[in-house]
């Protein structure tokens, strides 16, 4: 995936302090089984260089790796165990954090033999399923297709108008092409953002970018997910958002019955 450096920079080799724990049995992750979604998650980890923690045996110290590359057509991916041992043959559990927002966990079983001339690189097929634990505290609503949900704001001399893919009482998620995302970065403050949340609600708020994650769709190609939290919003607007989110969740429960 070719994402400009302005959008995201790949991290260096993982350190022992980067290890993350497995998803606890008392939590409620959802299961992701669509190979396209799994491929996008693995590709995001490959582009960012975020560490993958590998639990290969009960009681053993976790190993650390990165995803070197992803081929969604085969589909398979390549793990880079540089600076770490390759796991012994058998079952292994892989855990990673995507964009500081969600924890991804999956299991694979194989011999974990490295490539002939590069023993630190191990190829593996996509897992059949992944557990995903979304760590957002606020309830969120995905924007419906065919309705105008946008964020409009200025930054320096440039004007942005980006589609929203979801929103919650705590913030919004925007989507952009890599070119549209130029000038945006994690930690940047966005003042006076005009948020159109469907035909009935317009909110003006200050935002802070908390997450930027590249992904790929088959219709739009390379995209960047931009997660923002509200830095400043009036009490009246907050209450309006709460009503919209609550009504949206209620309508979805009714439709699914």
Q: What is the pLDDT of residues 161-185, one digit of tens each?
A: 999 988 877 788 899 999 999 999 9
Q: Which residue has the higher pLDDT, 237 or 66?
A: 66
Task: Tell whether the model's pLDDT for residue 74 goes beyond 50.
Answer: yes
CB 210 within 8 A of CB 168: no
227: which residues sit within 8 A by CB, 6+ positions away?
99, 101, 171, 172, 173, 174, 209, 210, 211, 212, 213
Residue ranges covered by each domain of the chain: 16-134, 140-256
pLDDT at 146: 59
Q: Give the distance, in angstroms, between the CA of residue 87 and the centroid of all CA atoms in the same chain.
A: 26
| Helix/strand/coil for 60 | coil
Q: Which residue has the higher pLDDT, 115 or 147?
A: 115
Q: Does CATH place domain 140-256 in 3.30.300.180?
A: no
Quick one: which of 160, 179, 167, 176 has its CA closest to 212? 176
pLDDT at 203: 85
Tally of CB atoms within 10 A around 110 = 14
| Helix/strand/coil for 31 | strand
pLDDT at 60: 81
Please give the share of the chain, as a percent, with pLDDT higher than 90: 36
What's the burial of 237, exposed, middle or buried (CB within 10 Å: 0-12/13-18/19+)?
Answer: middle
Q: Does CATH place domain 16-134 in 1.20.140.10?
A: no
Please state whether the predicted TM-score (pTM) of the whole model is above 0.85.
no
Q: Which residue has the higher pLDDT, 201 or 189?
A: 189
pLDDT at 232: 73
- On the question of a common fold for 16-134 and 140-256, the answer reads no
């Amino acid at each position: 995936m070719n994402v400009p450096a302005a959008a995201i920079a790949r991290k260096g080799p993982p350190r022992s302090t980067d290890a993350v724990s497995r998803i606890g049995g008392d939590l409620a992750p959802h299961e992701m089984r669509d190979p396209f979604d799994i491929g996008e998650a693995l590709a995001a980890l490959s582009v960012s260089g975020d560490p993958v923690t590998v639990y290969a045996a009960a009681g053993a110290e976790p190993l650390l790796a990165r995803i070197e590359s992803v081929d969604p057509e085969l589909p398979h991916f390549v793990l880079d165990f540089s600076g770490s041992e390759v796991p012994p043959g058998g079952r292994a559990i892989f855990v990673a954090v995507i964009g500081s927002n969600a924890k991804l966990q999956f299991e694979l079983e194989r011999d974990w033999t490295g490539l002939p001339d590069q023993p630190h690189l191990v190829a593996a097929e996509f897992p059949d399923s992944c557990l995903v634990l979304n760590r957002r505290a606020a309830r969120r609503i995905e924007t419906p297709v065919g309705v105008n949900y946008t964020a409009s704001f200025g930054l320096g001399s440039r004007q942005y108008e980006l589609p929203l893919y979801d929103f919650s009482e705590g913030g919004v998620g925007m989507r952009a092409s890599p070119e549209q995302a130029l000038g945006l970065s994690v930690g940047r403050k966005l003042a006076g953002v005009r948020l159109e949340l469907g035909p009935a609600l317009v909110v003006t708020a200050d935002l802070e970018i908390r997450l930027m994650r590249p992904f790929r769709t088959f219709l739009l190609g390379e995209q960047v997910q931009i997660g923002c939290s509200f830095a400043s919003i009036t009490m009246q607007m907050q209450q309006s958002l709460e009503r919209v989110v609550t009504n949206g969740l209620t309508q979805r429960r009714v439709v699914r019955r």
